[in-house]
A and B are shown apart, each in its own frame.
Chain A
């Protein structure tokens, strides 16, 4: 292990665990009062690392180190008191320039510029939180001593752009070497090639995203689950694998049609693969998890929107994005038979023989098949809808604007025109935005307006429905309507609103597909019977039990 602040003994002891622990520690870094880096900054940092697209940012970072070294100790700039925000960094630079007016630095409204002998370089203030997180990563992995010995030339006023580039290249090379050890790609490459070769053998010789379907996923698992390396043993992992392969093929195909210079499929001769384009492809995929992560972050985590089982059931579906709608049966199979496989593994660990464990689970599953699983998913959907409605109610009663966003998202068709009579529009502001506020003080007025049955019956009906939903939830953070929510709970509802709506939308789209799955397979019972035979036969082969 050569990471600086990691120590031996992490679970599994694999190299990626060390990197993973460092990134997690960075995401939990505190400025003393709150989390230092926003989740979006941490997600971007992780993405740039896995995409190996850090060369440009490291170059920018070296310019920023030069800039701040002209006005103060660079450690104080990056690690001193205060949050890692664009505004905070801008203020630090302004203060530094006030005390060091002779520095060859120009502060502009949205950028700071270094003037070198051989040119200039500007950095947006909005980039600084990310660059700060990148420096934290470099120092925490390569070492403070390594970073310090690389940068002495760029901290002096007489440095040149060429020297900045030289230092940036040295840091990039060191990070490259670190990641080669800590983020190896061989296993992923082997898995990708196993899937695309299987796809090619099933089709016309080419691996295309559109060829992937539920049958292919199941057939691959049947063929590959007994593979010696054990990469494809669990059905749940194979589903994730196909989702990932499909995402990768689709993204490359999309980029290929946008930029003909980028190679796709197995054609590697058309041009070099740009790390930046991989980052773009990954961004959408990466953001899928964001709603689940958002619910874990304060203040949203003050409210129990999902329990552990609901969250586990949603994870694969949400991470799969729209591919969940392409492979809905695979997702469902992972829920039903993936869970059984996990139970088998647990039983083996407890010392139960494979034959006994498989027989016990085969008997149990007769009463717990797809229909029950579909009902569970529908129940989670209903709970989520109730949570959205309850959030609306609590926010509305507290006069929080986020209530309006929820209303417009889940009832876009509602006729709010009668409200024009009692809502005034303020004068337009300098940024040409008109803010709508009730005539009276906002907080009481919003709840009054929402409950005004005479003026807007449709809205009042919606409020009554949301109140009923609020009264039916007894989870942590959901106060009874007559009691009202605390300030922190209101902040939690507001920060979770967008995530809840997105989760609800994804789940609703999936739930809408369930009847079609049953119908196209002759009903849930027929599908149960067929898949039970397939999966348990495979489990017996996989775990060495003669049928």
Chain B
């Protein structure tokens, strides 16, 4: 069935092997002290964060997504598999007041408000009117991962208004940022 190495080849006897396993078991059974151990998340927490906007977010997960590149990379891979609206291309470097990025079934444009330069419109045009995403994920290697609830689309367009200098606006202007919706 398998050609993997038997770990216990190195043990001198069955009793030694049982003892080593028993000691490991005892170590793993000791509960970690919550006051000294940082939060650790499982993939289950990541999956729920990616797929269930109503689920409570596991304590520490958002922080881990901003500091742990492996976890963030897995979030990106997961969203590529479970989010129907995902990037085709990253945004082109901003030329002036407008930035546009394209995805599977959507086009996202950032446009500075003409009335108030401190504000930024995020205009998401959906190609399939039957597809109504309710959550936007913004993944950026320096800012982490944001999850933003979306309003209902009007005539196939979702519109958000952000502060120009908000973390989210900064992320969305960055061409290296990936956006997903579901």
Q: A19-B28, A172-B2, A264-B14 are in contact. Are A29 and B44 (CB under 8 A)?
A: yes
Residue of B nearest to A195 (CB): B19
B32 adjacent to A165 (CB under 8 Å): no
Q: Tell me whether A59 and B2 are in contact in the complex, defined as CB-CB below 8 angstroms, given that A50-B25, A247-B22 are known contacts.
A: yes
Is B118 part of the binding interface, using a Cβ–Cβ cutoff of 8 Å?
Answer: no
A273 to B12, CA, bound (A): 10
Q: How many of chain A's residues have a CB under 8 angstroms from any CB in B?
A: 88
List residues of chain A with CB within 8 A of the CB of B51.
79-80
Q: With an 8 A cutoff between CB atoms, is A285 at the interface?
A: yes
The answer to whether A169 and B15 touch across the interface, beta carbons within 8 angstroms, is no
Chain B residues near A20 (CB, 8 Å)?
Answer: 27-28, 30, 32
- What string of 1s and 0s marks CB contacts (under 8 Å) between B45-82 and chain A? 11110011001000000001001101101100110011
- In the complex, whether A434 has a CB less than 8 A from a CB of chain B is no
CA distance A47 to B25 in the complex (A): 7
Q: Interface segment, B33-41, B107-115, B167-175?
A: B33-41
Report yes or no: B44 in contact with A136, Cβ–Cβ below 8 A: yes
Q: By the criterion CB–CB under 8 Å, are A263 and B44 in contact?
A: no
Q: Do B74 and A144 touch (CB < 8 A)?
A: yes
Query: Does any Cβ of B come within 8 Å of A267's Cβ?
Result: yes
Number of chain B residues close to chain A: CB under 8 A: 59
Contact indicator per residue, chain A 132-168, by CB within 8 Å of chain B (1) or not (0): 0000100110011100100000000000000001001
A46-B32 in contact given A25-B42, A275-B7 (Cβ < 8 Å): no
Instruction: For the complex formed, measure the closest distance between the CB of A148 and the CB atoms of chain B, giving whole angstroms.
Output: 7
Which residue of chain A has the shortest Cβ distance to B70 in the bound complex? Answer: A4
Contacts of B20 in A (CB 8 A): 185, 188-189, 192
Of all chain B residues, the one with the shortest Cβ separation from A137 is: B42
B42 touches A251 (CB 8 A): no
In contact, A140 and B42 (Cβ under 8 angstroms): yes
Chain B residues within an 8 Å CB radius of A253:
15
Query: From residue A163, how far is it (CB to closest CB) to chain B in Å?
Result: 13
Contact call A24/B40, Cβ cutoff below 8 A:
yes
Contact in complex: A21, B42 (CB < 8 Å): no
Q: A50-B24, A79-B43, A188-B24 are in contact. Are A169 and B9 (CB under 8 A)?
A: no
Whether the Cβ atoms of B37 and A11 lie closer than 8 Å is yes
- Does A248 contact B42, Cβ atoms closer than 8 Å? no
B47 touches A79 (CB 8 A): yes
Q: Tell yes or no: B16 within 8 A of A by CB.
A: yes
Q: Which B residues are in CB contact (< 8 Å) with A191? A: 23
Q: Report B-chain residues with C-beta under 8 Å of the C-beta of A185.
A: 10, 20, 24
A56 within 8 A of B: yes
Q: Is A10 an interface residue (CB 8 A)?
A: yes
Q: Can you name the residue of chain B whose Cβ is closest to the Cβ of A265?
A: B13
What is the CB-to-nearest-CB distance from B45 to chain A, in angstroms, rounded to a whole number? 7
Q: Is B95 close to A, CB under 8 A?
A: no
CB of B18 closer than 8 Å to a CB of A: yes
* B5, A176: Cβ atoms closer than 8 Å: yes
Q: Which of A367-389 contact B (CB under 8 A)?
A: none
Chain A residues with CB below 8 A from B7, complex form: 52, 176, 179, 275
Binds B, one of A123-131, A276-284, A357-365: A276-284
- A interface majority secondary structure: helix
Q: Write out, one digit per residue, whether chain A residues 89-130 have a CB within 8 A of any chain B CB (1) or not (0).
A: 000000000000000000000000000000000000000000
Residues of A within 8 A of B13 (CB): 252, 263-268, 273
Task: Determine whether the beta carbon of B32 is less than 8 Å from that of A36.
Answer: no
Once the chains bind, are A32 and B55 in contact (CB under 8 Å)? yes
CB-CB under 8 A for A252 and B43, given A32-B55, A143-B70, A192-B20: no
| Chain A residues positioned under 8 Å from B154 (CB to CB) | none
> Contacts A50-B28, A140-B43, A188-B20; is A272 near B4 (CB within 8 Å)?
no
Task: Kindly list chain B residues whose C-beta atoms are within 8 Å of the C-beta of A11.
Answer: 32-33, 36-37
Among B17, B26, B45, B74, the most chain A Cβ lie within 10 Å of the Cβ of B17
| Nearest chain B residue, comparing its CB with the CB of A28 | B42
Query: CB distance B42 to A189 under 8 Å?
Result: no
- B100 CB, min distance to chain A CBs, angstroms: 29
Q: Are A22 and B78 in contact (CB under 8 A)?
A: no
A249 at the binding interface (Cβ < 8 Å): yes
Residues of A within 8 A of B155 (CB): none
By a CB distance below 8 angstroms, the chain A residues around B11 are: 189, 268, 273
Restricting to A175-217, which residues have a CB under 8 Å from any CB of B?
176, 179, 183, 185, 187-189, 191-193, 196, 207
Q: Taking the complex as formed, is B1 at the interface, i.e. its CB lies under 8 A from any CB of chain A?
A: yes
Q: Is there contact, CB below 8 Å, between A244 and B26?
A: yes
Given contacts A5-B41, A143-B70, A145-B74, A285 and B6 within 8 Å (CB-CB): no
Q: Is the CB of B15 within 8 A of A251?
A: yes
Q: Is B128 in the interface zone, CB < 8 Å from A?
A: no
Given contacts A5-B71, A55-B2, 10 further A-B contacts (CB under 8 A): A5-B46, A16-B24, A25-B45, A148-B77, A187-B23, A251-B18, A275-B7, A275-B8, A282-B21, A286-B25
List of 7 A-B pairs having minimum Cβ-Cβ separation, nearest first = A252-B15, A248-B19, A11-B36, A188-B23, A50-B24, A52-B7, A252-B14
27 of the cross-chain contacts (CB-CB < 8 Å) are A4-B68, A5-B42, A5-B46, A5-B71, A7-B68, A11-B32, A11-B33, A21-B40, A25-B41, A50-B21, A51-B21, A144-B77, A145-B74, A169-B2, A185-B20, A187-B23, A188-B24, A189-B11, A196-B15, A247-B18, A251-B15, A262-B14, A264-B15, A267-B13, A268-B12, A272-B9, A278-B18
Q: Which residues of A contact B (CB under 8 A)?
A: 4-7, 9-11, 16-17, 19-26, 29-30, 32, 36, 46-47, 49-52, 55-56, 59, 73, 75-76, 79-81, 136, 139-140, 143-145, 148, 165, 168-169, 172-173, 176, 179, 183, 185, 187-189, 191-193, 196, 207, 240, 244-245, 247-249, 251-253, 255-256, 262-268, 272-273, 275, 277-278, 281-282, 285-286, 289
